[in-house]
């Protein structure tokens, strides 16, 4: 019987072994793909949850089915998961691994919201400016919200910056109502 390891323990162990073997990127991609498969396929979710199948059998099946798109270390880690919590545990492991990966690679997630679609060169220019100002590499994703009128909202990890015209008008309105 295998020890009952928490998602945090499994994610930490997977990260350390991946880092030692210089396969962090491949493992990260394999984890994301496996999560997508589980979300999209009820049959695969049942397979992951199976308590009747021994861990090494589950690993062998995953290695065979996923082939090059999977990773043996991820498949081995999945052999420790079973029961109805397995899909949620795998999702938690993936989130924790991604967090450790970003921290180790000095990467910040930045989400920008603008009023109008930006060109690729404008997005690249913004990313370059953010990289320089923050002193870290950024993963920038952009959304369009016409309600902003103009300006930009940024979410940098868990910090929110609002330089939108909509926000400035709301602030001005509040100040005028207090007079």
Q: Cα dist. 142→34, 92, 130, 135, 148 in Å?
A: 26, 25, 13, 20, 14
| pLDDT 10s digits, 67-84 | 888 899 998 898 888 888
Contacts by 62-69 with C-beta closer than 8 Å and gap 24+?
Answer: 66/30, 66/33, 66/34, 69/30, 69/33
Residue 50: band (very low, low, confident or very high) from pLDDT cuts 50, 70, 90: confident
Here the tokens at position 86 are: 């397995």
User: Confidence band (pLDDT; 50, 70, 90) for 2?
Assistant: low
Residue 90 has pLDDT above 90, yes or no: yes
What is the structure's pLDDT at 158?
A: 86
Going through the chain in order, the beta strands assigned E by DSSP cover 107-114, 137-144, 151-156, 159-164
Residue ranges of domains in the chain: 7-104, 107-178
Q: Is the pTM of this model over 0.85?
A: no
Mean pLDDT value across residues 138-154: 92
Between CA 39 and CA 96, with CA 25 as vertex, the angle to 5 degrees is 55
pLDDT above 70 covers what percent of the chain?
A: 98
Query: Six-digit token pair at 50?
Result: 């199976």
State the pLDDT at residue 84. Answer: 86
As a whole number of angstroms, the distance between CA 165 and CA 179 comes to: 21
CATH number (3.40.1350, 2.60.98, 3.30.70, 3.40.30) of 107-178 reads: 3.40.30
The dotted CATH code for 7-104 is: 1.10.520
d(CA 164, CA 126): 15
pLDDT value for 43: 86
Q: What is the pLDDT of residue 1?
A: 37
Q: Give the chain's mean pLDDT.
A: 90
Same topology for domains 7-104 and 107-178, yes or no?
no
Region of poorest pLDDT, from 12-26, 28-42, 54-68, 127-141: 54-68
* Three-class secondary structure of residue 114 per DSSP: strand
**Stretch 39-61: mean pLDDT:** 85
């Amino acid at each position: 019987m295998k020890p009952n390891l928490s998602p945090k323990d499994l994610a930490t162990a997977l990260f350390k072994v991946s880092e030692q073997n210089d396969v962090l990127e491949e493992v990260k991609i394999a984890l994301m793909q496996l999560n997508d498969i589980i979300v999209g396929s009820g049959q695969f979710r049942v397979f992951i949850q199976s308590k009747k199948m021994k861990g090494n059998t589950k690993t062998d099946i995953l290695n065979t089915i996923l082939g090059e798109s999977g990773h043996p270390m991820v498949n081995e880690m999945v052999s420790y998961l079973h029961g109805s919590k397995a899909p949620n545990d795998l999702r938690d492991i993936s989130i924790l691994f991604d967090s450790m990966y970003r921290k180790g690679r000095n990467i910040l997630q930045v989400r920008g919201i603008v009023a109008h679609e930006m060109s690729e060169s404008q997005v690249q220019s913004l990313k370059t400016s953010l990289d320089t100002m923050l002193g870290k590499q950024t993963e920038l994703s952009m959304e369009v919200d016409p309600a902003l009128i103009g300006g930009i909202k940024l979410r940098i990890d868990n910090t929110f910056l609002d330089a939108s015209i909509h926000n400035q008008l709301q602030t001005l309105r509040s100040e005028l109502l207090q007079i």
